[in-house]
Structure 1
Amino acid sequence: MTTPARRRLAAAGLAGVALLGSLSLAACGDDEPAAKAPCGLKDTRKGHLTAKNAAAALAKAAEGRKTLTFRQEMTINGKTAAIEGSVDASPDKIYGLSQTMPGDDGTVKLILKDDRVYVSAEGEQDGKFYVVDPDQKGDPLAAPLKAWFDQSGAAATANAWTVGLLAVNYVKTETLDDGTRAELYEFQIDPRIVARASGITPPPGLEQSSTSYVWVDRYDLIRKVETTGKDERTVETFTDYCEPVDIKAPDASDLIQR
């Protein structure tokens, strides 16, 4: 595999971690009727999220196996790139993930299925996929991917958010672009605590507090997250909860050696 291809594979993995981590965020109560309750959910929480009840709400939201579609827009120094796809995951396991993202020379597609990762980079044998088995000894990419699998369940990320949570403030209730009624919250988090909870040593100079804006619906499902840093802004949206997804591994004829 060429050096650019390795960089694309590493970037794909990190993007997947960021997106799957957002599956753990949740909570909300709203008295307006919904046309259809996603994921077979029936109960809605009364009252707003607070720093006292957020931990329980996050833990509850991490329960069960869910599918959804997502889109993440990242703006860094005025330049915006988007990652989008679908995922099938439980609190402790990723059953399937399919996403596309910008690469050095075009679009990169990543598929995660049956505990293997497949990556196709536009401009390098288009339509063909490299494959990585996290349990394959001797593969330099196996160990980091194994760590990714072990920490990418919603439950692990929910715990990290709970550990790093400093304050939760209700802002307002509004209707999102897809028509979903959601409550907007301001989450204040200590990134250093979150990093340590995730097994990462905080880099020197990491800020002590950061703010994320989180939109959640009446069924305790996250619909949108917006985070703004010094020179970057990330907006994630989540739709089609528990709707069917079709995530398949590439055919054997489409696999190539690294």
Structure 2
Amino acid sequence: MKWNIRRTAAAVIVLPVVLGAAACGKTDTPAPATGQTATQSSSAATSDASTSGQPYKDKASFVAAMKAAGKNVTSAHVTMDMDAAGQKVAISGDTKLDAADPAMKMSMDMGSSTKLEMILVDKKIFMKGMPGLAAGKWAVIDSSSTMGKQLAESLNQADPTKMYDQFGAAVTDVKYVGEDTVEGDKAFKYDLTLDTKAMQAQMPAGDKTKLPDTIQYTAWLDEKDQLRKVTFDLMGVKANMTMGKYGEPVDIKAPAAADTVKAPL
């Protein structure tokens, strides 16, 4: 159980950050419209023309669109369902997208009465519901431990200006599939190919998981070019993640000191 909690807890943080990276990038220039060159896009930007609300047919315009859409995003709500070889995990939480002071609050239901809550704030990691932990208490993860280093590195990767560049480098191919809806909103569906070698730097230190050369994702952008849904099926792990409530207020605070104890790892 301890191994599953460590690996899954890391996935809770890494996946939303990696998959949602482009939703919180920074840019001063909107994405090129389908068929536009970078020069044409720059001219359109000067005239304040908007290219959102349409499908993108290549990697450059797709990635640039997400980057432009997220330049002012301050928060997002994330839900994710994972099925790892029969072990079902349900995740829900809020993320504060701030390069200087990122924060996350997540709840995770792993079934079999295993329910975890996690808070990442002020570069500290707190977890409630771990086996061996008194009810109602939050474990403070030692930043020098293996898990602490993994989670702390993942939190550091929440810097949107860094994560966008990494995500952009990993995407090697974008195929537009067609129009769809996500939670009742119009969306555009895409098949993405990501280079796992380019993703290695985004993974927690010490993670030696053997991955194929490329990973296939399906992603949905809404009419504002915001990333709203991502799915993948990889090495026995199926995941379905949705993102929304962009820019809505989030309240993420560290637990009271009296409610914290050293993590039983």
Scaled by the length of structure 2, the TM-score of the pair is: 0.76
* Alignment partner, residue 227 of structure 1: 232
Taking only the aligned residue pairs, the percentage that are identical comes to: 21
Please state if 1:20 is matched with 2:17. Answer: yes
Please state if 1:60 is matched with 2:65. Answer: no
How far apart in 2 are the matches of 1:212 and 1:7?
Answer: 24
Please state if 1:159 is matched with 2:165. Answer: yes
Alpha-carbon offset, residue 25 of structure 1: 3.2
Counting only pairs closer than 5 Å after superposition, residues 215-254 of structure 1 correspond to structure 2 as 215-254=220-259
The answer to whether the 8 Å contact 1:192/1:202 transfers is no
Change (3 A) 1:200 1:180: same
Q: Any unmatched runs of 5+ in structure 1?
A: 30-41
Alpha-carbon offset, residue 235 of structure 1: 0.5
Q: Any unmatched runs of 5+ in structure 2?
A: 24-30, 34-48
How far apart in 2 are the matches of 1:139 and 1:230?
Answer: 28
How far apart in 2 are the matches of 1:46 and 1:28?
Answer: 12
How far apart in 2 are the matches of 1:133 and 1:77?
Answer: 30
* Alignment partner, residue 128 of structure 1: 137
* Alignment partner, residue 211 of structure 1: 216
Please state if 1:100 is matched with 2:107. Answer: yes
The answer to whether the 8 Å contact 1:28/1:183 transfers is no
Alpha-carbon offset, residue 15 of structure 1: 1.6
* Alignment partner, residue 38 of structure 1: none
Change (3 A) 1:196 1:117: closer
- Answer with 9-18 or 227-236: which moved more: 9-18
The answer to whether the 8 Å contact 2:14/2:203 transfers is no
* Alignment partner, residue 85 of structure 1: 93
The answer to whether the 8 Å contact 1:54/1:162 transfers is no
Alpha-carbon offset, residue 198 of structure 1: 5.7
1:154-175 C-alpha deviation (Å, 9 max, x unpaired): 3333222221222111111112
How far apart in 1 are the matches of 2:16 and 2:151?
Answer: 15
Alpha-carbon offset, residue 151 of structure 1: 2.0
- Report how many residues are paired: 238
1:158 counterpart letter in structure 2 = Y
Secondary structure, counterpart of 1:256 in structure 2: strand
Alpha-carbon offset, residue 222 of structure 1: 0.7
* Cα RMSD, aligned residues only: 3.2
1:129 counterpart letter in structure 2 = W
How far apart in 2 are the matches of 1:200 and 1:122?
Answer: 22
2:102 counterpart letter in structure 1 = Y
Alpha-carbon offset, residue 252 of structure 1: 1.9
* Alignment partner, residue 76 of structure 1: 84
1:222 counterpart letter in structure 2 = L
